[in-house]
Amino acid sequence: MLAAIIAIVANNNNGADMSRETAFQKIKNHRAQQFGLPMTADWTAIETIDMHTAGEPLRVILAGFPELPGNDVLSRRRSAREQYDDLRKALMWEPRGHRDMYGVILVPPNDDGADFGAIFLHNEGYSTMCGHAVIALAKLAVEMGWVEPCPDDETSVVIDAPCGRIRAFARTDSRGRVFSTRFLCVPSFVLARDQTIALPGLGTIRYDIAYGGAFYAYVDARQLPFSLAPENSEEIIRAGRAIKAAVIERGPPIEHPAEPDLSFLYGTIFMDMSQFPESTTEPASDSRIHSGNVCVFANGELDRSPTGSGVSGRLALHHAQGRLTENQTLHVKSITGGVFTGKISGVLDYCGHAAVIPEISGTAHITGQHRFYIDPADPLKNGFLLG
Whether 185 is catalytic is: no
**pLDDT in 10s for each residue of the chain, 387 residues:** 434 433 433 444 444 444 445 454 554 554 445 556 777 889 999 999 999 999 999 999 999 999 999 999 999 999 999 999 999 999 999 999 999 999 999 999 999 999 999 999 999 999 999 999 999 999 999 999 999 888 778 999 999 999 999 999 999 998 889 999 999 999 999 999 999 999 999 999 999 999 999 999 999 999 999 999 999 999 999 999 999 999 999 999 999 999 999 999 999 999 999 888 765 455 555 678 899 999 999 999 999 999 999 999 999 999 999 999 998 999 999 999 999 999 999 999 999 999 999 999 999 999 999 999 999 999 999 999 997
Alpha-carbon span 325 to 342, nearest angstrom = 12
Domain 188-362: state its class.
alpha beta
Domain boundaries, the chain: 44-184, 188-362
| CATH topology identical between 44-184 and 188-362 | yes
Alpha-carbon span 377 to 169, nearest angstrom = 44
Classified as helix, coil or strand, 94 is: strand
Active-site annotation holder among 130, 163, 185, 295: 130
- The residue type at 316: A
Q: Between vectors from CA 141 to CA 363 and to CA 346, what angle results, nearest 5°?
A: 60
CB 241 within 8 A of CB 230: no
Name the residue among 76, 213, 48, 212 with its Cα closest to residue 137: 48
Alpha-carbon span 300 to 240, nearest angstrom = 8
Alpha-carbon span 122 to 179, nearest angstrom = 26
Topology at the third CATH level for domain 44-184: Diaminopimelate Epimerase; Chain A, domain 1 (3.10.310)
